[in-house]
Amino acid sequence: MTKKYTKDHEWVRIEGDVAVVGISNFAAEQLGDVVYVELPAIGKAVKQGADMAVVESAKAASDVYAPISGEIVAVNDALNGNPEKVNEGPEGDGWFVKIKVANASELEALMDEAAYADFAKA
């Protein structure tokens, strides 16, 4: 499946019944050098649109919001010692969490890559 994006600059990619989530290239560029990432606990239930993580850069601290409801089933522990992975590959190795999807229909509210590209330019 292709990626979907939120207006808060998170991306989500579905792999079976699990959503891989991170921040977009655009968000990483806006933040600048990421110096710290606070990830949620495995097993935490998250609701679409609710804050679930924090990313800090030299410029600002920002909440990361859940693009879909479900349960955190994995976190990217590599970010704990290497937060710069977010800058190096925000839509690849710099992913934040994996969420067991509670309601796949929530994806319909998200933007596809073309719509997000237009949104990020605005």
What's the confidence (pLDDT) of residue 2? 80
What's the confidence (pLDDT) of residue 27? 96
In whole angstroms, give the CA distance from residue 94 to residue 25: 10
Buried b (16+ CB within 10 A) or exposed e, 68-106: bbbebbebbeebeeebebbbeebbeebbbbbbbbbeeeb
What's the confidence (pLDDT) of residue 71? 98
What's the confidence (pLDDT) of residue 85? 96
Does the model's pTM come out above 0.85?
A: yes
What's the confidence (pLDDT) of residue 1? 60
Where exactly are the structural domains of the chain? 4-102
Spell out the residues 6+ positions from residue 41 whose beta carbon is closer than 8 angstroms to its own: 72
Q: What is the pLDDT of residues 26-45, one digit of tens each?
A: 999 999 999 999 999 999 99
CATH class of the structural domain 4-102: mainly beta
What's the confidence (pLDDT) of residue 122? 80
In whole angstroms, give the CA distance from residue 84 to residue 101: 27
Would you list the DSSP string of 88-121?
Answer: H-TTTTT--EEEEES-GGGGGGSB-HHHHHHHHH
pLDDT averaged over 10-residue windows placed end to end, the chain, 122 residues: 92 96 96 96 98 94 97 97 96 97 96 96 85
